[in-house]
Amino acid sequence: MNPLLDNANSPLSPAITNSVDSETKKCVDMIGLSLEPHEMSAADAADMERILSKPLARTTTEAQPLP
């Protein structure tokens, strides 16, 4: 049985949080951080300019939401 089932309407319970190793916790945190506004470094900016100047990939032009 998944212990989270008993606490479905609450954030991760302290018991669960305590059982999560620091690497996993860091990865959970990164999911949330990925949605935060981000000021890019000069290296990031150079890469973004390069990426955005490229022609679109075929997989991109063909991608459609599943019905």
Partner 1 sequence: MFSTLEPRPFTAALHAAVQGFDCGSESWERAMALWITGQEAIDSITNRGTQVFLYYDGSNQLVGFGSIGTTHWSWPPPNGRRTELAIIPALAVQKRFWGHPKGRSVAPSDKYSRQILSDLIGRAKLLPVTALALFVHKDNTHAIALYREIEFERVGELKNDHYKMALPLRVDTNAA
**Should residue 14 be labelled a site residue for partner 1 when binding is judged by CB under 8 A?**
no
User: Tokens standing for 64?
Assistant: 């459609």
Largest Cα–Cα separation, the chain: 50
**Should residue 15 be labelled a site residue for partner 1 when binding is judged by CB under 8 A?**
no
Measured CA to CA, the distance from residue 56 to residue 15 in angstroms comes to: 46
- Location of structure tokens 């990031």: 44
The site string for partner 1 over 35-64 (x = CB under 8 A, - otherwise) reads xxxxxxxxxxx-xxx-xxxx-xx-xx-xxx
Distance of CA 27 to the CA centre of its chain: 8
Q: Please work out the total of residues on this chain that contact partner 1, with binding judged by CB under 8 A.
A: 50
Interface residues with partner 1 (CB under 8 A)?
2, 4-5, 8-12, 16, 20-21, 23-28, 30-45, 47-49, 51-54, 56-57, 59-60, 62-67
